[in-house]
Amino acid sequence: MKFEEFWDTLVKDMSETKQFQSLSQTSQFHAKYSGGRIHITTQNSVWTVERSDMHEIWNKAITLDENLRFKHFSYNQENIRTLSFILALMRDFVGQNKME
């Protein structure tokens, strides 16, 4: 799966709010695509994920071993505060597909 295919799938599938599990499976969040961004809502916060941030994480993910792609410690979290949400969405939408 290439990034454009992944992003197009997100846009189409998240036109309505959907619920997701965190990477640790301990909490839930809601996500919806609107206005060119993904809007994340948790119990306490609202976050916005830009396409460029998602693409940055995607580019890093394709360089990692498949067993490490959805692990927090594989990424530098200093720049992207929404990393855990991005990884959870990637995990759910990419699944077992090969990332390119």
For the sheet with 46-49, list strands across it: 18-21, 28-34, 37-41, 46-49
pLDDT score of 17? 95
Q: What does the pLDDT read at residue 79?
A: 63
More confident residue, 26 or 1: 1
With 80 as the cut, is the pLDDT of residue 26 above it?
no
The reported pLDDT for the residue numbered 25 is 67
Over residues 35-89, the pLDDT tens digits come to 999 999 998 999 999 999 999 989 988 998 888 888 777 777 556 778 889 999 9
- Say what the pTM is: 0.85
H/E run at residue 43: none
Residue carrying structure tokens 């995607």:
58
Angle at 18 between CA 62 and CA 50, to 5 degrees: 45
